[in-house]
């Protein structure tokens, strides 16, 4: 009986850890720096590769969705922090509260822009097409930290600790046609490969539950 209790306790602990209960408030790294284990690419997997410990995003349009075990890749109130470097003319994005699509741009959730010099004037940490920012907070060819906090009906984005967007979603948000699902709900995160001329690197992508 004693051994059965020990086994049951261990199993419950492992289940809780897998679901994220025991990890609340702790940062969990989603990118191991060696492989794309736990991630699922849409359309063109060749747009994503790992080099020298970095996730290199370069190629035709595609999206890399977190599909791993942590919290069953389903986040509601949480923070995601990414260490990023953009190259001249590059465009990318970090999606939150999204869901896997085999093709096209993600329909669900919000895109946080990653762009410091692309022809699109919406710059890094903008809440794309919802709260857009033209100010450049960081240069190409430099590593920077982007933090996104999603809690309740509020999203806050920061670059190197500086707040760029502080947005509270209204009860009935207005959305353009085709963007009706740009809403706070729940879901996974995704990294965007925008076009063949855009090269971006991610060194770390970690989350913590709130």
- Predicted confidence (pLDDT) per residue in 83-135, tens digit: 999 999 999 999 999 999 999 999 999 999 999 999 999 999 999 999 999 99
The confidence score (pLDDT) of residue 107 equals: 94
What's this model's pTM, rounded to 2 decimal places?
0.88
The confidence score (pLDDT) of residue 9 equals: 44
The confidence score (pLDDT) of residue 7 equals: 41
Task: Count other C-beta atoms under 10 Å from residue 140's C-beta.
Answer: 17
The confidence score (pLDDT) of residue 108 equals: 96
Distance CA 96, CA 151 (A): 12
The pair phi, psi for residue 171, each rounded to 5°, is -60, -35
- What is the rounded average pLDDT for all residues in the chain? 91
Mean predicted confidence (pLDDT) in 46-74: 98
Task: Count other C-beta atoms under 10 Å from residue 33's C-beta.
Answer: 12
pLDDT at residue 148 above 50? yes
Strand 188-193 relative to strand 92-98, pairing: antiparallel
- Predicted confidence (pLDDT) per residue in 153-183, tens digit: 999 999 999 999 999 999 999 888 888 999 9
The pair phi, psi for residue 48, each rounded to 5°, is -130, 135
Q: Is 11 exposed, middle or buried (0-12, 13-18, 19+ CB in 10 A)?
A: exposed
All domains in the chain, ordered by first residue: 27-209 (2.60.120.560)
Mean predicted confidence (pLDDT) in 31-60: 97
The confidence score (pLDDT) of residue 22 equals: 52
Which of residues 14 and 165 earns the better pLDDT score?
165
| % of the chain surpassing 90 pLDDT | 85
The confidence score (pLDDT) of residue 23 equals: 74
pLDDT at residue 12 above 90? no
The confidence score (pLDDT) of residue 14 equals: 45
pLDDT at residue 13 above 60? no
């Amino acid at each position: 009986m004693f051994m059965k209790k020990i086994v049951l306790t261990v199993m419950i602990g492992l289940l809780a850890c897998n679901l994220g209960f025991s990890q609340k408030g702790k940062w969990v790294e989603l990118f191991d720096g060696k492989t794309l284990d736990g991630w699922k690419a849409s359309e063109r997997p060749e747009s994503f590769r790992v080099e020298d410990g970095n996730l290199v995003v370069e190629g035709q349009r595609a999206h890399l969705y977190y599909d791993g075990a942590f919290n069953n890749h389903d986040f509601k109130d949480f923070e995601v922090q990414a260490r990023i470097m953009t190259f001249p003319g590059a465009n990318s994005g970090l999606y939150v509260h999204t869901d896997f699509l085999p093709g096209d741009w993600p329909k669900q959730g919000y895109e946080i822009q990653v762009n410091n010099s692309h022809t699109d004037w919406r710059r890094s940490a903008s809440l794309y097409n919802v709260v857009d920012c033209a100010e450049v907070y960081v240069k190409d060819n430099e590593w920077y930290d982007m933090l996104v906090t999603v809690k309740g009906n509020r999203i806050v984005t920061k670059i190197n600790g500086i707040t760029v967007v502080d947005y509270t979603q209204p009860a009935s948000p207005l959305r353009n046609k085709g963007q009706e699902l740009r809403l706070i709900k729940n879901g996974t995160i995704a990294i965007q490969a925008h076009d063949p001329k855009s090269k971006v690197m991610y060194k770390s992508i970690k989350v913590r539950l709130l």
